[in-house]
Every structure is written in C-alpha cells, then in structure tokens.
Amino acid sequence: MKLLATALLQNITLTTLYLQYNQINSQGADYLSNALIYNKTLVTLQLQYNQIGPQGASHLGHALQKNTALTTLNLSYNQIVDEGAEQLVNALIQNKTLTTLDLRVNQITSRGTQYLANGLSQNKTLLTLHLSWNNIGDQGAEYLSNALLDNKALLTLGLEGIQLGDQGAKHLGNALLQNKTLTTLRLRENRISIQGAEHLSYALLDNKTFTTLDLPYNQIDDNRKQYVKDIFKMNPQIKLNL
C-alpha cells in the first residue's frame, strides 16, 4: 500500500481507484491519506471491506479536510465505530468537493450519528449519505432530523436496517415538513408501523421536492398498506415503495 500511495502522489490522470476486499487496515489508510492531501485528480475511492477501523477513519478524515478533488468515498464494512465517525466531522464541515459518502455497516450507534449530524448540519456539498445497517435507532434519527433542518444540500439519505421505529419516523417527518432539499429517503427493513408511516405520509403531502420514499419490510400490516398508498396519491410526484 505504501508503494501504491507513493505512485498516487505523482499520478495526474487516475480518476477512480477500487481497493475493496483487501486488508489495508489503519496503516494502509494512513499511506493513502497522505497521498490524498496532494492528489488533484482522483474523484472516486472505493475502500469497503478493508478493516481500516477508527484510526484509519481518522487518517482519511484529516486528508478530506485538505483534499479538493475526491467526490465519492466508500468506507462501508470497515468497523470505524463511533470513534471513527467522530473523526469525520471536521471533514464534513471543511471539505468542499465530496458529494457521496458511504458508511454502511460500520457499527455506528446513536452517539456516532450525533457526531455526523453535527457535521452534516454545516456541510454544503454532500448530496448522498449512506448510513444503513448501523445501530442508529430513534435517537440517532432525531440527531439526523435536526441536521436536516439546517442542511440545504443533501438529496439522498440511506437509513435501511437501523432499528428505526415510529418515534424515529416521526422525527424524520417533522424535519421533512421544513426541509425542501431532500428527494430520497430509504427506510426499508426497520420497525416502522402504520403510525410512523402515517406521520411520514402527512408530512410529505405539501413537499414539492421529495420524490422517493422506500419503506418495504417494515411492520406495516398488509391490510393498512392501501391506506398509506391512498394518502400518497394526494402528492403523486412521490414514488412510494411499500
């Protein structure tokens, strides 16, 4: 990895680098991060399944504060946990080019989500954030909802399988009453019942920018799904996946 990072320092043409399913760990992430500080051409970096951990996330977070080229970073399946999420906050605040950040399956809890939400509330460029299959829960959803009240850039938020219940859905619905930027919210494989779905439905009735709500595999009884679909018919621009 050290040799690859050295080459990346000098490269002026490479735009996409796939390094998933290796054992880069935190040391390899450190080498890459040093290269990213100076590299001006790489726009996509895929690092999923690399065991970089919180220390590796810290190295990359430092690089992102200075990098001016990267637009897509995939850090899913890397065990960065809450401490790693905390190390990405300053990157979210200071970075001006990153548009897609994938943090799926990283053992992030509501505490780590609070850190990320603080960064998101001040971020002006990120368009897509994936946080699915972390143990975020309703409390984490509340932190993200508060961030959505301030954020004016994010278009897509992935929250599949995060142990989200009706209270979390209510928090998100309240945010969407005011947020007029987000277009897509992915909530499949959570614990949302008819109460949470109803709250989201009515919150989106007058939203003119939102386009896609993904709700399969929640706890909405089959005999109540048509009721939810009927509410969304009042805002036909929204595609409901139920």
In CATH, what number is assigned to the domain containing residue 71?
3.80.10.10
Given the structure tokens 């929204």, which residue do they identify? 238
Q: What is the DSSP letter of 135?
A: B
Name every residue whose Cβ is closer than 8 Å to that of residue 137 and which is 6 or more positions away in sequence: 109, 110, 162, 163, 164, 165, 168
pTM for the whole structure: 0.97
Q: What's the pLDDT band for 7 if we cut at 50, 70, 90?
A: confident
Q: Say what percent of the chain tops pLDDT 90.
A: 95
CB atoms within 10 A of CB 47: 25
Number of compact structural domains in the chain? 1
What ranges make up the beta strands (E) of 67-198? 72-74, 100-102, 128-130, 156-158, 184-186
Does residue 40 surpass a pLDDT of 90? yes
Q: Is the dihedral of CA 17, 22, 28, 30 positive or negative?
A: positive
Residue 77, phi-psi category: left (phi > 0), alpha (psi -120 to 50), beta (remainder) = left
Q: Is the pLDDT of residue 148 over 90?
A: yes
How remote is the C-alpha of 45 from its chain's centroid?
A: 16
Residue range of the domain that includes 184: 2-241
Q: What does the mean pLDDT of the chain come to?
A: 96
- Three-state SS for 210? coil
